[in-house]
Amino acid sequence: MSNDVSRPFKNGGGSLRAQIYQDIRDRIHHGGLGPNDRLVDVEIAGNLGVSRMPVREALLQLTHEGYLVGTTRGFMLPTLTPTDVANIFEVRRCLEPRAAAHAARNLDAAGMERLAAALTDAETAVATADADLLFQANVSFRRSWLEAVDNDRLASAIARFADHVQVVRLGTLSHLPTQAVVLAGMRKLYDAFIRRDAMAAFDHMTTFIQHAEDRFVALSRELENSSQDKGRAAGQGQP
């Protein structure tokens, strides 16, 4: 995935501010911004050949919505604390199971086809240990069922909170056992959607989110323990 944040933005409908906002949000959604990437309004404006104001307005809106944080050197993805991540997952548990139940009733044939394609990509990704492909398949799968949710505000809120943990998701999906857990969850959700079983979709989504949080916590502890072990070894003069 490209981390090039200075390329020209796509043209589209709406104001320039809205176009810039949507392009940056799309990059976050698809993992196109890394934790060390910085967005500088002057650089973006110069690249586009426009004034600084609409760029800054878009960046400030994204900051207000929690996608970015402002620094002295530009805007970047926020660094999430364990409490931040726990709070986000709690919100997702409140919202996503009900939305999945709605989607199970509303998905049309085209939506089902997109789900099937995303699941196929996920299976390929796990078979080849391709974390980037699994990430993109996961994004496509979620977008496909969210498009079937009638309540636009609910779908928008879910997309926003899911995007807030994209960096977390990128980190966990490189872990092979986690890849298997994610794929199993996607298969169960797909089966519920195909059968239009709203209750099963609700239950599977609840479990899916809980597993995602559990994997994040477990991997975070492993990384913390590994860092502590290296620190102790360095203190003892070990290579």
pLDDT given at position 234: 56
Per-residue pLDDT at 167: 62
Crossing angle, helix 131-146 and helix 82-106, to 10 degrees? 50
Domain containing 22 — which CATH number?
1.10.10.10
pLDDT value of position 53: 93
- The verdict on 101 and 148 lying in the same domain is yes
Tokens of residue 220, six digits: 């975070």
Does 200 fall in a domain? yes
Specify the higher pLDDT residue, 206 or 79.
206
Neighbours of 212 (CB within 10 A): 21
- Can you give the pLDDT at residue 1? 37
Range of the domain at 27: 16-76
Residues 111 and 92 both lie in one domain: yes
**Sign of the alpha-carbon dihedral angle for 143, 136, 25, 23:** negative
Residues 207 and 94 in one domain: yes
pLDDT of residue 228: 55
DSSP conformation letters of 81-114: -HHHHHHHHHHHHHHHHHHHHHHHHH--HHHHHH
Residue 51 resides in a domain: yes
Whole-angstrom distance, CA of residue 54 vs CA of residue 42: 11
Residues 5/41, Cβ–Cβ less than 8 Å: no
Please indicate, yes or no, whether residues 108 and 124 belong to a single structural domain of this protein. yes
pTM for the structure as a whole: 0.76
* Residue 117 near residue 133 (C-beta atoms within 8 A): no
Last residue of a domain, which of 76, 104, 124? 76
Name the domain count of the chain: 2
> What average pLDDT does range 186-192 have in this prediction?
97
Residues 89 and 204 reside in one and the same domain? yes
Q: What percent of the chain has pLDDT over 90?
A: 51
pLDDT at 3: 40
More confident residue, 168 or 124: 124
